[in-house]
Amino acid sequence: MTLPGDKSISHRAILFAALADGESVIDNVLVSGVTEAMLRALTALGVPWQLDGTRLTVQGGGLHGLQSPSAPIDCGNSATTIRLLAGVLAGAGVTAVLDGSPGLRRRPMRRVVAPLQQMGVALTAVDGCAPLTLAVGKRPLQALTYTLPVASAQVKSCLLLAALAAAGPTTLTEPGPSRDHTERMLRQMGVQVEEGAGQEAAQERWVRLYPPETALRPLQITIPGDMSSAAFLLVAALLTPGSLVTLAGVGLNPTRTGLLDALRSMGADIAISNEQEMAGEPMGDITLRAGELHGTEIGGDLVVRMIDEFPAFAVAAALAEGQTTVRDALELRHKESDRITMLCQELQAVGADVTETADGFVIYGKPLLTGGTINPHRDHRLAMSLAVAGLRSVNGITVQGAEIINESFPSFAQNLSELGAAISV
Ligand code: S3P
């Protein structure tokens, strides 16, 4: 099976194409709720684009080609859209208001507002949350040397994008290896971006961006399949006796493959083949065979390498033999829902043995779950992981408000059903 394009890479390709000089062609772009929010933003900023199936063409007008929008930009439920846009608009010197759904308005924005203000950006939030208001401030922006308090690709990307318009090189240090799609894509477009291991702690990383002296090259890329969508199908296959599934052309960027390491540490039989590189991103086929899983321990830098995969992972753990412990995962509380409390609550509701901790959870696996009806709390990944849990439940699982799945993986139910799952919408 092949999967829709990676959400993180799609977001970046759409937005960065708008900053390039000329026409970009992006194949296998993810068409879903959150990427539609980014496309709406391009329209609001006066950037022409055209979507033909999953081929997106964008007419980029260069780093200074964005128009100030006449109304607030609606970023929907997409934190990537609002945080990356804040960086781009800060760099472009565009006046704008960035807003979104009630869920998005609850997400923390101080983490981008404070360092952008340090760069001289005239930006305000409301109690550290959206709406964000950008006014025209001093130009050019000040170069920044900054240590991120938590590993976050959205914060890092926001600041790197603003740094395109800074007076000198910007250096960011992160406590762990967050996804590096921005760095890879900007390099493809001709921007000098360096990186290396930090000195203070084993997992620390630094990245330095030099403001470009020439226009950004347009993109001609095919986006690999989304590892974070693959996660649900991989866990479904692992938990269904007799399954043998190959997911072809999935992104295998090492900052995104933590789930594969976690599942292997539980005894999963996973093989990678056809490895290749596509526009600076590694990709390949993942073949997985169902089998017995045992409990494991997750913590440290593995957490950031599988930050979006904990809902799927927890379902695997709930059906494994023995105890699984997750720690160092406080960031999960700041996702589309509080993914520690809500995940534990909803897994308990279908019969799993889960205990919430301050920065993670402890799960005792069972052979089968009871099942029931669950509330995904408008969190697409909770909805999909609990649907997958239904495959190993006595009574089946009904996910209310399942339309939230369209935010990241509209073909989820269809793909799962093509693999043989009994799922209806
Ligand atoms: C993303 C980064 C992660 C991730 C999100 C997408 C990105 O968020 O959870 O789904 O595309 O940069 P944080 O950077 O807030 O950890």
Give yes or no: 308 in active site: yes
Q: What's the confidence (pLDDT) of residue 227?
A: 98
Asked if 389 and 396 count as a contact pair (C-beta separation under 8 A), the reply is: no
Task: Pick the catalytic residue from 308, 353, 359, 379.
Answer: 308
Q: Output the six-digit token pair for 214.
A: 């020439």
* Ligand 1 binding pocket mutation candidate from 11, 75, 80 (most atoms within 8 A of CB): 80
Angstrom distance (rounded) from CA 32 to CA 410: 6
Cα 244 to middle of ligand 1, angstroms: 30
CA distances from residue 86 to 136, 146, 244, 332 in whole angstroms, order as listed: 13, 17, 43, 22
25 CA from centroid of ligand 1 (Å)? 24
- Output the tens digit of pLDDT for each of the chain's 425 residues: 999 999 999 999 999 999 999 999 999 999 999 999 999 999 999 999 999 999 999 999 999 999 999 999 999 999 999 999 999 999 999 999 999 999 999 999 999 999 999 999 999 999 999 999 999 888 899 999 999 999 999 999 999 999 999 999 999 999 999 999 999 999 999 999 999 998 888 899 999 999 999 999 999 999 999 999 999 999 999 999 999 999 999 999 999 999 999 999 999 999 999 999 998 999 999 999 999 999 999 999 999 999 999 999 999 999 999 999 999 999 999 999 999 999 999 999 999 999 999 999 999 999 999 999 999 999 999 999 999 999 999 999 999 999 999 999 999 999 999 999 999 99
- Residue 182 CA, closest ligand 1 atom number: 12
**What is the model's pLDDT at position 341?**
98
Cis preceding linkage at 410, omega within 30: no
Asked if 62 and 214 count as a contact pair (C-beta separation under 8 A), the reply is no
- Rounded CA gap, 26 and 28, in Å? 7
Which residue CA neighbors atom 13 of ligand 1 most closely?
152
Among protein residues, the one with the nearest Cα to ligand 1's atom 9 is 308
Closest atom of ligand 1 to CA, residue 11 = 11
Candidate of 9, 35, 154 to mutate for ligand 1, largest count of ligand atoms within 8 Å of Cβ: 154
Question: 345: which residues sit within 8 A by CB, 6+ positions away?
Answer: none
Taking the centre of ligand 1 as the mean of its atom positions, its distance from the CA of residue 178, in whole angstroms, is 8
Distance from the alpha carbon of residue 335 to the mean position of ligand 1, in angstroms: 9
- Residue 138 CB burial class (10 angstroms; 0-12, 13-18, ≥19): exposed
What's the whole-model pTM score?
0.98
Listing DSSP states for 262-317 in one string gives HHHHTT-EEEEEEEEEETTEEEEEEEEE----B--EE-TTHHHHTTT-HHHHHHHH
Q: Which residue's alpha carbon is at the smallest distance from atom 11 of ligand 1?
A: 8
Whole-number Å distance, alpha carbon 396 to ligand 1 midpoint, is 31
Say how far apart CA 336 and CA 359 lie, in whole Å.
17
Give CATH 3.65.10.10 domain extents, the chain.
7-139+179-191+213-222, 227-418
Spatial CA neighbour of 30 closest among 304, 380, 311, 406: 406
The CATH number of 227-418, from 3.40.50.2000, 3.50.50.60, 3.10.420.10, 3.65.10.10, is 3.65.10.10
Q: Is 408 in the pocket of ligand 1 (CB under 6 A)?
A: no
* CATH number of this structure's domain 7-139+179-191+213-222, picked from the four choices 3.40.50.620, 3.65.10.10, 3.40.630.30, 3.40.605.10: 3.65.10.10
Q: Does ligand 1 come within 6 angstroms of the Cβ of 255?
A: no
Alpha-carbon gap, residue 59 to 23, rounded angstroms: 5
Maximum CA pair distance of the chain? Answer: 62
Among 384, 270, 389, which Cα is nearest to 336's?
Answer: 384
Residue type for position 198: G
With a 6 A CB cut-off, is 152 part of the ligand 1 pocket?
yes
pLDDT value, residue 277: 97
Q: Is 80 in the pocket of ligand 1 (CB under 6 A)?
A: yes
